[in-house]
Structure 1
Amino acid sequence: MEDDVRLIPISALQHLLFCPRQCALIHLEQQWAENRYTAEGRILHERADHLGHERRRGIHTAMALPLVSEALGLTGVADVVEFDESQQTAVIRPIEYKRGRPKTHRADEVQLCAQALCLEEMLNVGIEQGALYYGKTRRRKVVVFDDELRELTQGVIADTRDLFDVNCTPPATYEPKRCDRCSLIDICQPQVMGKQRSASRWLANQLQSLDE
């Protein structure tokens, strides 16, 4: 990787899939605000976010493990990485902690797969699967890093890189189910900004019709 290429935070991949504008506000404009959902997520992460190690029943657990991929231009921190040494060949599993429940989209899976790609490069190993731990269910969801998920993750990395290179925040589009849960809604103002964009488009269309 060239020295002038900016490393992309792995968390930006999840933010991009949730909302490209949110991703840009957080990572390009350095905007942040907390609501109940982000506070619950922060509390859930508190145990895993302290750098440390544990060893129980043949499983070596590393917490808050720094990650980097020079090839992909990624950086981040894994909540938990398990090194299962109980088998003949050690099995490595990244574990990501999330509040709430498993989602219908694959944003969390992409974030976890990106962690696995970093670990594969750092440790020169292959990683077949990891897990997402959800606070509401208090259960792990196994995630298999198959070709489909790896290709999706590579595509999201490329899209996020494009957003960073353009360095421009996308316009707002109000979607109640998504926007009303976002901690940045007061900063983003999707209802107001969306109306302004619609008015600007209407005016541009009117001026174009006069020229025709």
Structure 2
Amino acid sequence: MDDEAVIPISALQHYLYCPRQCALIHIEQLWAESQHTAEGRLLHDKADKPKMERRKGVRTVTAMPLAQPQLGITGVADVVEFHTGEDGVEHPYPVEYKRGRPKAYQADEVQLCAQALCLEHMLSCQIPEGALYYGETRRRTVVPFDTALRALTCETISATRAMTVSGRTPSATYSAKLCYNCSLFDLCQPRLLHRGESVQHWLHAQLKGE
């Protein structure tokens, strides 16, 4: 697949949260730090350092590079645990670290499932489940990679790729809950921008006005 059509796994989570947010980050290359993103970054610090540990029949690899060329996705897994079965074979088990608590929508589950799809391709195996670790609850949530989640993940990959390849940022749709929790709120200006107008266009207009 062409490099332009390959998308990062992180974009899938952004797309499910808000397609416009995804476009601002992955098309217009905009980013802003917030308390939530800073806390998430600190939570990932430990997992983001590549290393390998082994204890009690489990080999743990952090910051493992991932790719699935057929689906056109690439990324890095926070943690992949390799559990040794009774047959002596290692079975991969992806674990993704998140701040906060489990969410109503499935963005985190899709991101984890995409990691599993990469591992299945890379290691020629089947992965039935993984886990999400939430910093606020300090507990793992088991995520079964069932048919429905796999289908949603593939649909999200296709939708995200179609948007990024088009190079078009979706118009803003204001939502009090989602928008105020977004670190890009000030850049997005969901209540002010005209339909279909890009953030870059808005910024240039502001600079001209000054």
TM over 0.5: yes
| C-alpha displacement of 1:122 | 0.5
Matched ranges for 1:92-103 at <5 A = 92-103=92-103
| C-alpha displacement of 1:169 | 0.5
- SS of equivalent residue, structure 2 residue 195: helix
Aligned to 1:206: none
Report if aligned partners of 1:51, 1:62 keep a CA contact under 8 Å in 2.
Answer: yes
Counterpart Cα distance in 2 of 1:173 and 1:152: 22
Matched ranges for 1:1-212 at <5 A = 1=1, 3=2, 5-88=4-87, 89-193=89-193, 196-197=194-195
Report if aligned partners of 1:13, 1:111 keep a CA contact under 8 Å in 2.
Answer: yes
Report if aligned partners of 2:6, 2:161 keep a CA contact under 8 Å in 1.
Answer: no
The structure that has the greater radius of gyration is 1
Note the aligned Cα RMSD (angstroms): 1.3
Q: Note the residue ranges of structure 2 that are not aligned, 5 or more in a row.
A: 197-210
**Amino acid of the residue matched to residue 92 of structure 1?**
P
The percent identity for this pair of structures is 59
Report if aligned partners of 2:4, 2:165 keep a CA contact under 8 Å in 1.
Answer: no
TM-score (norm 1): 0.89
Moved over 3 A (4+): none
Q: Note the residue ranges of structure 1 that are not aligned, 5 or more in a row.
A: 199-212
Cα offsets for 1:45-78 (capped at 9, x unmatched):
0000001101111100000000011110000000
Q: 1:4 to 1:10 in 2, by over 3 A?
A: closer
**Amino acid of the residue matched to residue 147 of structure 1?**
T
Aligned residues: 195
